[in-house]
Amino acid sequence: MKSKLTFALAASILTIGLSAFSHRANAQAPFAANTHSTSVTLPLGGIGTINVIELPEVGTYVISGQQNLSAYPTTAETQVLCYMATQPGGSTPLPSGPYSMTTIPPGGSYVTLPLNGYYTATSSPMSLWVVCRYFGQGQVSAIYGNITATLVQ
């Protein structure tokens, strides 16, 4: 009798546990992601549109990603920056969105800029654009970048 009761109790706990787990597994937050692998040469002193994601729903999104840039040929420092905007080629970064800047040393090199922040979409779908620019000499190219956004609220 004791073993039947123990078995029934264990089976009930397992059933309840599995149904709770199954419910959590089906609850997925909306997610947007994009990557690019083609080289984009930035205009000197201008703004280049590099990537875009489309937010599928209204709400607050955590944004993360990175953008690789290279400068060549250079004999002086080259400042590069990337951020996200609500329009392609936008000159105004998102208030709390990704924004990164660094300096590429003379002689040319590669850098990776982190793109992390958040954004609250008030309409959907909403496109967010990764834009980059540089100040200096030579040429700057953007390649192998990615960006993701996950709805958290």
Counting residues of the chain whose pLDDT is more than 70, the rounded percentage is 81
**Cβ neighbour number for residue 152 with a 10 Å cutoff:** 11
Q: How far apart, in whole angstroms, are the C-alpha atoms of residue 40 and residue 9?
A: 63
Residue 114, pLDDT score: 97
pTM of the model: 0.78
pLDDT, tens only, 70-102: 988 778 888 999 999 999 999 999 999 999 999
Residue 11, pLDDT score: 39
Tell me how far apart the terminal alpha carbons of the chain are, to the nearest angstrom: 50
